[in-house]
Structure 1
Amino acid sequence: MTTRIVDVIVPEVFNPYLIQRTSELSALVQSGIIVPDSQLDVLASTGGTIVNMPYWNDLTGESEVLDDTDPLTVNHITTAKDMARLHTRGKAWGANDLAKALSGDDPMRAIGDLVAAWWNRDRQKMLFSTLNGVFASSSIAGNVHDISGETDGGGIINASSTVDAQGKLGDAADELTAFSMHSAVYNSLRKEQLIDYDVNPITGVKIATYLGKNIVIDDGHPNAGGVYTTYLFGPGAIGFGNGAAPVPTETARDALQGDDVLVNRQHFILHPRGIKWTEENVAKVSPTNLELADAQNWNRVYENKKIRIVQFKHKIS
């Protein structure tokens, strides 16, 4: 008897498995760059497309000399507001796409792994579009280290230039804990013997590190005319929250075509902390990747050193 999607996909079981498995398979999550946040889960499920995230401004000014006659001046603690966008995305797959998974011993798990891996790839594309838009905004210029125009052998990524990139955060540079880079950059650093390897004591998996920090490798990084873009991240630089699509998963059967269909919908927040979404240029219900890459839709609200992202533009040797 032929196995069908409707026979193996139980939405109540599939949905939580997919959420968990997507996090497990995400290199960005495992490296600490993207941090699932229960508070963002709540905000993503409260309705509306814009999520307001108030925060306390840091205290400023100097201490005052105590005096018997002049009282201390009361300084008010002020607040500001970061804003994130709720993304509403979906994808449908036919039985032909999932035929191999349906033939396995545990087809629901196999399909769940395929769908989770697909969502991870799609979200990484969204993240790169987001970063393109964020760093196209002049408000974030203080977090950019661009040496790509240097000549006479300069402009190359190496230990020295990378330390300079970290220095964009000043005394907060130590909060940068991971790199995200193109495979060509990774291979160039390997040739220079700058890549080390640690072994996860629990899983036994070998982890590549550069200057003591974890590396995420993805060829979706910008690469134009020999200029590469590498990102330095601090933990939780990107916040993630799962929302509540009204019908996250459903199956259908087209009897006339003989096709089974699996539909998956996701509502979520994927937000660079401290960069406010302004909703200046969005045509439909949810922004496209092109709109995420539009500088008009982003504006910095944290001070530069509190934004745990540095864009490093360079060449390779």
Structure 2
Amino acid sequence: MAKTLISDVIVPEVFNPYVINRTMELSALYQSGIIATNDELQVLASGGGRTLNMPFWNDLDGDDEVLSDTVALTPDKIDAGQDVAVKLLRGKAWAANDLAGDLAGSDPMAAIGNRAADYWTRRMQAATIATLGGVFSSASMANNQIDFTEGGTNTEAKADGKTIIEGSQLLGDAQGGLTAIVVHSRVYSNLKILRLLEYKVDPATNTEFATFDGKRVIVDDGVPVSGGQYTSYLFGPGALGYADGTPSDVQTETDRDKLAGDDILINRKHFILHPRGIAFTSAQVAGKSPSNAELATGSNWNRVYDRKQIRIVKMITNG
């Protein structure tokens, strides 16, 4: 009897965009607006090079002058800065024994695509958490984070309405731009116990999600936890820039190990996942692209935007 192979059901030109789109549909970070893309990032992601330079103009500053009919105004200048993003070059291969059950489905390519999309959603979330770890290990981001466990009692240091609002205050008059918060499940449960959460339904996915003070609450146990201290992150829309690139190798391939009887699917992904306004310095990167451990290294990051323009705040609480 003929056997259905992965190569029989995978059509790369259909599979690739399906996986990309489905990954975004499944990503709570993308659905919340924390991650956003634009045409400029997409063009950069598809170009050559490992890092991508994104120049920008700084805001105008300095005092105004009193007009005079005898003294001319003194011209000032506008300064430029440069943000730098890095491409993440990743790949994964799966053998047929992991996918065999999907081949019985009515649409096997979609079934396999959903599995791949679920996988990349989790890996993008892991890269995001690693990036945030590195960003907030940089001395340049010291004023965008607050540790409630320093000098406070255990009760005072727990996440509640007061701590979240105090964390938002780090951005001063720009705090209204914060629209989401990522927390550990322990922190989420504490907020539930305090009855501080309201629930809404996402029209795009028809799934329920929690909010606090109008901010979408995303639960991820990948956020840092150490000695009973929990890290949470507040975000504004588009705090992270995202774009898919085009791998120089084939993005999706199938293969078969005839001796072992293994059917193989290979998926490669190039993408940008960049905290806007915090330049990647490449100070400690061993390979062609940073690993998650290198993304989590503080010396690889340096803030280049004004502090209030960075739409990310870190908080540490005792749950």
Shorter-chain TM-score category? Answer: over 0.9
Corresponding position of 1:190: 192
* 1:224 maps to which of 226, 232, 244: 226
* 1:270 maps to which of 264, 268, 273: 273
Aligned-pair distance for 1:199?
2.6
Corresponding position of 2:146: 145
CA contact (8 A) 1:39 1:241 kept: no
Q: Which moved more, 1:273-282 or 1:204-213?
A: 204-213
Aligned-pair distance for 1:153?
2.9
**Distance of 1:202 and 1:285 partners within structure 2:** 37
* 2:305 maps to which of 291, 298, 302: 302
Corresponding position of 1:132: 133
| Unaligned ranges ≥5, structure 2 | none
Q: Which moved more, 1:50-59 or 1:204-213?
A: 204-213
Corresponding position of 1:251: 254
Aligned pairs for 1:7-86 (under 5 A) are 7-86=8-87
CA contact (8 A) 1:34 1:237 kept: yes
Corresponding position of 1:100: 101
- Aligned sequence identity (%): 52
CA contact (8 A) 1:3 1:103 kept: no
Pairing 1:115–2:116 present: yes
| Unaligned ranges ≥5, structure 1 | none
**Distance of 2:60 and 2:257 partners within structure 1:** 62
Aligned-pair distance for 1:203?
5.2
- RMSD across aligned C-alpha pairs, in angstroms? 1.2
Structure 2: which amino acid aligns with 1:187? S
Structure 2: which amino acid aligns with 1:159? G
Q: Which moved more, 1:68-77 or 1:39-48?
A: 68-77
Residue 121 of structure 2 aligns to a residue in which SS? Answer: helix
Structure 2: which amino acid aligns with 1:67? S
CA 120–203 in structure 1, closer or farther in 2 if over 3 Å, else same: closer
**Distance of 2:205 and 2:7 partners within structure 1:** 35
* 2:162 maps to which of 157, 160, 165: 160
**Distance of 1:72 and 1:25 partners within structure 2:** 55
Structure 2: which amino acid aligns with 1:302? Y
- TM-score when scaled to structure 2? 0.96
Pairing 1:315–2:318 present: yes
**Distance of 1:244 and 1:153 partners within structure 2:** 50
**Distance of 2:273 and 2:202 partners within structure 1:** 27
**Distance of 2:32 and 2:48 partners within structure 1:** 30
* 1:291 maps to which of 294, 298, 301: 294
Residue 136 of structure 1 aligns to a residue in which SS? Answer: coil
Count of residues in correspondence between the two structures? 316
